[in-house]
């Protein structure tokens, strides 16, 4: 919680003036607060860590947050593939995972089991390639199944530490993968990075209203904190898959499924072989209300494009690989590439300008 730019302790009184304000611990609103003595004697003025963050981020040209209103929409998959795409264009890229309770980025980048190393310059990112570094709390957990049960202040502390202590070197892009929602982590990352210059946020959604309802809140959050919405990506925008990769089932009256794939493929190969070259498309989620594109028109924010639900994209994400080097991602890779190109155009960035 914030008041006048100050971060307010969770157990503070209702009208807390802020622990860094001149009236901290002295105003009428402080009476009976458990933090009153600590606030009255605490040093006042700007947080010195913010100065350190500004200095550390001075070598990063573009900072992009990836947000979602709801979990499970493929936000981390998009963050990972965006980072892969930018690195493949010869940009220097950093991917920062601030999803403290659900850090999935190490797996999606093929970095499970890696550890953070420290040098005299600070914490060193874990590198996928020489131009793609990653930082996540997932690298700090002794057991990947261990739950991170932290309250807001501790989460904010580790985010601040990532920003001021990680030595990225010269970066063209820092992609920040945030948890879903609009909670402590989002307020903190915007507050900590605001003085360093944030390009804006990409918001990931799925087509149905149950997701778009929360995305509208995310857009309003961005407007309230002065964060530009670079665009919305509609993920899982219909199942798209070569017909030859489907399994065909016969559903009996009792509900039992019997596999008829071999028979169907053999039948098509014999009677209509051209069908095996077709791609099948089906809407998984209801988009009759207009989906992400209509929401963007209604709210006055850019729409970056649609990414189909591609089983091959799910597979490369599980294996920690880029979809752009996999010929099987024929449905998702071109869609993602168009979105990345549109983003770079919006930022007025070219490979010759920022990339090697």
Distance CA 158, CA 64 (A): 19
Interior angle at CA 278, CA 292 and CA 261, nearest 5: 105
33 is known to lie in a ligand binding site: yes
323 is known to lie in a ligand binding site: no
Distance CA 218, CA 69 (A): 6
Instruction: Classify 166 in phi/psi space as left (phi over 0), alpha (psi -120 to 50) or beta.
Output: beta
Residue in 293, 137, 148 with CA at minimum distance from that of residue 207? 293
75 is known to lie in a ligand binding site: yes
76 is known to lie in a ligand binding site: yes
SS (H, E, C) 115-166: CCEEECCEEECEEEECCEEEEEHHHHCCCCCCCCCCCHHHHHHHHHHHHHHE
Query: Which residue do the tokens 């024929």 mark?
Result: 330
CA distances to 155, 178, 203, 274, 296 from 78, in Å:
23, 12, 10, 33, 19
30 is known to lie in a ligand binding site: yes
- Is 279:242 a contact under the CB 8 Å cutoff? yes
101 is known to lie in a ligand binding site: no
Residue in 276, 273, 270, 281 with CA at minimum distance from that of residue 244? 276
71 is known to lie in a ligand binding site: yes
72 is known to lie in a ligand binding site: yes
113 is known to lie in a ligand binding site: no
- Is 105:112 a contact under the CB 8 Å cutoff? no
176 is known to lie in a ligand binding site: no
39 is known to lie in a ligand binding site: yes
Q: Which two tokens stand for residue 337?
A: 């590439």
51 is known to lie in a ligand binding site: no
CA distances to 2, 5, 6, 42, 143 from 26, in Å:
18, 19, 16, 12, 45
Annotated binding site for ATP: 69-76
Annotated binding site for [4Fe-4S] cluster: 16, 30, 33, 39
Annotated binding site: 16, 30, 33, 39, 69-76
């Amino acid at each position: 919680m914030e008041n006048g730019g100050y971060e307010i302790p969770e157990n503070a009184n209702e009208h807390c003036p802020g622990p860094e304000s001149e009236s901290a611990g002295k105003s009428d609103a402080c009476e009976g607060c458990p933090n009153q003595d600590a606030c009255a004697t605490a040093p006042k003025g700007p947080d010195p860590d913010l100065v350190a963050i500004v200095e550390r981020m001075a070598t990063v040209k573009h900072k992009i947050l990836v947000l979602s209103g709801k979990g499970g929409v493929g936000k981390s998959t998009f963050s990972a593939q965006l980072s892969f795409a930018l690195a493949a264009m010869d940009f220097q890229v950093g991917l920062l995972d601030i999803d403290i309770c659900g850090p999935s980025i190490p797996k999606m980048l093929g970095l499970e089991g890696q550890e953070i190393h420290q040098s005299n310059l600070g914490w060193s990112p874990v590198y996928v390639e020489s131009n793609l570094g990653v930082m996540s709390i997932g690298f700090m957990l002794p057991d990947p199944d261990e739950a991170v049960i932290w309250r807001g202040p501790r989460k904010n502390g580790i985010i601040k530490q990532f920003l001021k202590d990680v030595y990225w070197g010269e970066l063209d892009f820092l992609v920040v993968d945030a948890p879903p929602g609009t909670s402590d982590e989002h307020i903190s990352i915007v507050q900590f990075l605001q003085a360093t210059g944030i390009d804006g946020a990409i918001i990931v959604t799925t087509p149905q209203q149950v997701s778009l309802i929360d995305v509208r809140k995310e857009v309003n959050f961005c407007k309230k904190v002065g964060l530009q919405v670079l665009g919305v990506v509609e993920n899982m925008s219909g199942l798209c898959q070569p017909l030859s990769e489907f399994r065909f089932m016969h559903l009996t009256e009792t509900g039992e499924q019997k596999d008829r794939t071999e028979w169907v493929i053999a039948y098509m190969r014999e009677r209509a072989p051209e069908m095996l070259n077709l791609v099948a498309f089906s809407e998984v989620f209801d988009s009759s209300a207009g989906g992400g594109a209509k929401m963007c028109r209604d709210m006055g924010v850019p729409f970056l494009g649609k990414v189909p639900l591609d089983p091959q994209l799910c597979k490369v994400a599980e294996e920690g690989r880029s979809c752009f080097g996999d010929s099987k991602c024929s449905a998702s890779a071109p869609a993602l590439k168009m979105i990345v190109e549109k983003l770079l155009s919006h930022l007025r960035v070219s490979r010759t300008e920022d990339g090697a």
